[in-house]
Amino acid sequence: MGRTNRSRKRKAEMDRIKKERNSKKELLRLKKTLGLLDEHGNELIKKMEEVVEYKTPEQLRKEKQEKEEQEILDEIAEEKADGEIVEVKNETTGVVHKYNTKTMRDQFGSLPVWKTKRNTERKVRKKTHAMKKQFNQAWLNKFVPI
C-alpha cells in the first residue's frame, strides 16, 4: 500500500529536527578536519573568509578562457620568433626539407609525420580562432548601416 501524505509530512518534519541537531556536530567535525579548532575546541580563525576563496562558475569559466587565449598568443609569438633551420633529406624521395626548430614546420608549411594529427588539428583550430578574434578592421567597426 502507498504511504499517505500525512506520514510523509511527519517524516519530513522529523528529518528537519534531526538535521538541526546534527548540524552542530557536523560543523565541529568539519572545523577540526580543516584545522580551524585546536585540541581544546577553541577557534583559531574566526572568519571563514580568511580561509576560503569563493569563485562563481562564471569567474572560473572566464579564467579558463583567458588562460587558453594567453597560451594561443604565446604560441603565435613563438612562431614569429626565429628558430634554427635544420636540413633533412628524405631517403625515399630525395627531397631536402628545411625544418624550423621553433615551429617544427618545413619550408612547405607541413608538420613532421611523427606529430600526432589530432593534437596539431586542435592547435590549428585554436590558432585560427585567436586570429579571427584579433581580426579588427575599421570598416567593420565604424559606419555600419542599420
CA dihedral over 121, 122, 128, 132, signed as positive or negative:
positive
Nearest alpha carbon to residue 45 among 55, 54, 34, 59: 34
Angle between helices 57-80 and 117-134 (to 10 degrees): 100
Residue-wise pLDDT for 80-134, tens only, equals 667 788 888 888 888 888 888 877 888 888 877 777 778 778 888 888 877 777 6
What pLDDT was estimated at residue 64?
92
Over residues 94-105, the pLDDT tens digits come to 888 888 887 788
> What average pLDDT does range 66-78 have in this prediction?
84
Q: What is the pLDDT at residue 61?
A: 93
76: helix, strand or coil = helix
Q: List strand residue ranges (DSSP E) for the chain, in order.
A: 85-89, 96-100
Local confidence band at 60 (pLDDT 50, 70, 90 cut-offs)? very high
- CA distances to 57, 92, 107 from 87, rounded to whole Å, are 49, 16, 10
Amino acid letter for position 112: P
C-alpha cell at 144: 555600419
